[in-house]
Amino acid sequence: HPVHAIQAPDGDYLIVGKTASNGFVIKIKETASGVNAWLDNQETATGWSPDYAWGKSMGTQGMKDHLLNVAATSDSVFVVGVKSLTATNADRYIAKHSLATGALIWEATFPDSSTSKDGAYITAMITSDGGLIVGGVTDAATGSLEGFKSFGNPVTGTACLAYFSAAQLSSNTAPSAPTWAKSYAPSLDVKAVKEVPSSQGGGYVFVSGTNP
């Protein structure tokens, strides 16, 4: 199930999404003949269809591991989502891949306030200073994230934003924590975030959901 897509700085297209158990990120060449090339062609023993640059998956069979958004720099791809650490615990997830080859450079998860809570990053964008701003949900009830994002909305949890600096993104070592992180109760999640130009005061604006 594709969830989000962008055009990368090199002109190719990046698509992230989820299956029943895994998340995936696929890079499709700018010269692809059409959407049917992605829908109809299957991976073969000799590799991807010529319309694919590369494809990668993450997660464990039987778990609920999904990729929900993607951002890219001139040489790297950053995917975000949710990764299950156990059958009853899922954390916010971010990973860095090579834009050219798809090779995994690092991945990291960020825990909630307890192992009985779930979290996910839902949105991501590269900032004007070369960092990455991500938003999502933290401290949701265990198991309550299934079906959210393109299928619906979380019904519990707290909206959150986190910022990773340009130095953290350029490193070949996964960050142990974001440069800064904030939560926004009683909002449930951050669905989208945009940067405010410095000429208009700077900072970020985001769209969130709440229970009626």
pLDDT tens per residue, range 146-205? 655 554 577 889 999 999 999 999 999 999 999 999 999 999 999 999 999 989 988 999
pLDDT at 33: 67
pLDDT tens per residue across span 111-146: 998 888 999 999 999 999 999 999 999 999 887 776
pLDDT at 43: 47
**Sequence-distant (≥ 6) Cβ neighbours of residue 196 within 8 angstroms:** 202, 203, 204, 205
Nearest to 94 by CA among 75, 113, 81, 84: 81
Strand order in the sheet with 66-72: 66-72, 76-86, 89-98, 104-110
DSSP conformation class of 169: H
CA angle 122, 124, 128 (to 5 degrees): 160
pLDDT at 128: 95
Distance, in Å, from the CA atom of 110 to the CA atom of 119, rounded to the nearest integer, reads 8
pLDDT at 44: 43
> Mean pLDDT lowest for which of 43-47, 106-110, 140-144?
43-47
> Mean pLDDT lowest for which of 14-23, 35-44, 89-98, 103-112?
35-44
Q: How far is CA 94 from CA 31, 123, 126, 198, in A?
A: 28, 11, 13, 27
Q: Is pLDDT of 60 > 80?
A: yes
| Mean pLDDT value across the chain | 86
Q: Is pLDDT of 8 > 90?
A: yes
Q: What percent of the chain has pLDDT over 90?
A: 57
**What are 89's two structure tokens?**
């615990």
Pick from 1-5, 18-22, 30-34 the range whose average pLDDT is largest.
1-5
Average pLDDT on 56-71 reads 87
DSSP conformation class of 198: G
pLDDT at 41: 46
